[in-house]
Amino acid sequence: MDKTQSYIDRDHTYVTPVYKSLPVVLERGEGVWMWDTEGRKYLDFLSAYSAVSFGHLNPRIKKALIAQLEQMDIQARSFLHKHLGEFAESVCTLTGLDQMIPMNTGAEAVETGIKTARRWGHMVKGIPDGDQRIIVCKDNFHGRTTTIIGFSSDADYRRGFGPFDGGFDTIPFGDASALERAITPQTCAVLVEPLQGEGGIHVAPKGWLKQVQDICKRNNVLLLVDEIQTGMGRTGKNFCYQHEIDRPDGVILGKALGGGIYPVSAFVSRRDILEVMTPGSHGSTFGGNAIASAIAVEALKILTEEHMAERAAKSGAYLQEQLRGINSSLVQDVRGLGLLIGMELDTSRVSTELVCAHLLEKGLICKDTHGTVVRFAPPLTIEKDQIDWAVEQVRSVLAALEPVA
């Protein structure tokens, strides 16, 4: 414990606490498992917010990384390397789109989508530069840059960080008629998560995304879908929008695209849209470097060759059914798609933080989101007996916290 405490003390002294951390220091990961510095073993039911969808230190990702490290690190983006073209081709084949701009973090890929949509709005749609507007949804989460938090509806994300540059209009998530009303001649794009993850695991009403697409088409507005958390098989399809539509105008990827090992993100779109992004208009020193690209190529192969979406659909349906079967008055709702599941608790009687702390003590890593919901998002490689064990821990923690009548 002394060793663990010394890590915690050093962290708390020198690391600015922008995340509330739990008193555990993790030092090893393999598949669905993690171990702390005391040698305690945990089942990972969070997957680093969906970044580790294919399991910790996935052997194929690790092999691709090591093979690339034997060859070359990074090069300046003005020079080509062998893997970026293959990475882009794979992403385009899977999404049915034409081209991609590689970045590193999710927020950067969202920014790339915003920049592209604004430039398209000006150069193609003819909106005067500076007047372009983008429609977003209430309770969105698209990252932490100043532009992105400027259109967050969470006051905590914004407080003290203004001024914000504007140009965004907010509608309720899942409300197609509000979208219809919000569109003006200045609207260049609609930016949505097909399922809101950070916002509290909100599944959109059936048919909504299709309606959004129809409205966008009718009004010559681009539909950009943020699949950073929901993509790469997580919700039971390669990309969550595929539950409803063939393809949007732009897809934003991150997290699991880097195989849980390396930050890799991308904005993917059609050629006629991306042609507004000319040399010098955008860039990133590390975006699409040889290591990132070699990893992404492998991650995309794992996604299809190992049928990750099908596994998420099957295991997710089973996990939801088991969680629904827990007889606890503290549970208000269980919802989600594939292996992105939220359990909403009656927070007037129990805090989600307390539930997560108790689950951690039992060896289950999970995290609350938005205060009222515990998110369950294990690696897509999770097995049935591991799900059964996890559900048993949830059942016993809720039973222990259930107020005596």
Residue nearer to ligand PLP on the CB measure, 87 or 141: 141
Q: Provide the 10 A C-beta neighbour count for residue 357.
A: 14
Distances (CA, A) of 114 to 118, 189, 233, 340: 6, 8, 24, 26
Give bridge partners of residue 269 from the DSSP assignment: 99, 250
Residue nearer to ligand PLP on the CB measure, 212 or 398: 212
Distances (CA, A) of 191 to 14, 114, 141, 224, 239: 37, 8, 11, 5, 15
In whole angstroms, the minimum distance from the beta carbon of 302 to ligand PLP comes to 20
Count of residues in contact with ligand PLP, rule CB under 6 A: 15
Interface with ligand PLP includes 229 (CB under 6 A)? Answer: yes
Interface with ligand PLP includes 36 (CB under 6 A)? Answer: no
DSSP 281-336: S---SSTT-HHHHHHHHHHHHHHHHTTHHHHHHHHHHHHHHHHHT---TTEEEEEE
Q: What is the number of alpha carbons within 13 Å of residue 191 lying toward its C-beta? A: 33
Interface with ligand PLP includes 106 (CB under 6 A)? Answer: yes
Residue from the set 36, 226, 244, 368 that interacts with ligand PLP by CB under 6 A: 226
- Exposed (0-12), middle (13-18) or buried (19+): which is 67, by Cβ within 10 Å? exposed
Residue from the set 47, 53, 105, 213 that interacts with ligand PLP by CB under 6 A: 105
In whole angstroms, the minimum distance from the beta carbon of 149 to ligand PLP comes to 11
Residue nearer to ligand PLP on the CB measure, 103 or 331: 103
In whole angstroms, the minimum distance from the beta carbon of 228 to ligand PLP comes to 4
Interface with ligand PLP includes 286 (CB under 6 A)? Answer: no
Interface with ligand PLP includes 110 (CB under 6 A)? Answer: yes
Which range of residues in 53-61, 172-180, 191-199, 332-340 is near ligand PLP by CB under 6 A? 191-199
Q: Which two tokens stand for residue 287?
A: 């975006």
Q: Which two tokens stand for residue 39?
A: 């040698």
Q: Provide the 10 A C-beta neighbour count for residue 230.
A: 27
Q: Which two tokens stand for residue 391?
A: 């559900």
In whole angstroms, the minimum distance from the beta carbon of 340 to ligand PLP comes to 10
Residue nearer to ligand PLP on the CB measure, 143 or 379: 143
Catalytic annotation on 226? yes
Which range of residues in 24-32, 177-185, 192-200, 335-343 is near ligand PLP by CB under 6 A? 192-200
Counts of helices then strands in the chain (DSSP H, E): 14, 17
Distance (Å, whole) CA 29 – CA 32? 8
- Choosing from 36, 44, 226, 368, the catalytic residue is 226
- What DSSP character marks residue 236? S
Catalytic annotation on 63? no
Residue from the set 143, 194, 259, 342 that interacts with ligand PLP by CB under 6 A: 143
Interface with ligand PLP includes 208 (CB under 6 A)? Answer: no
Residue nearer to ligand PLP on the CB measure, 226 or 368: 226
Interface with ligand PLP includes 44 (CB under 6 A)? Answer: no
Residue nearer to ligand PLP on the CB measure, 293 or 322: 293
Catalytic annotation on 151? no
β-pair type (168-171, 133-137): parallel
- Give residues in contact with ligand PLP (CB under 6 A): 49, 105-107, 110, 141-143, 193, 197-198, 226, 228-229, 254
Give the active site residues. 141, 226, 255
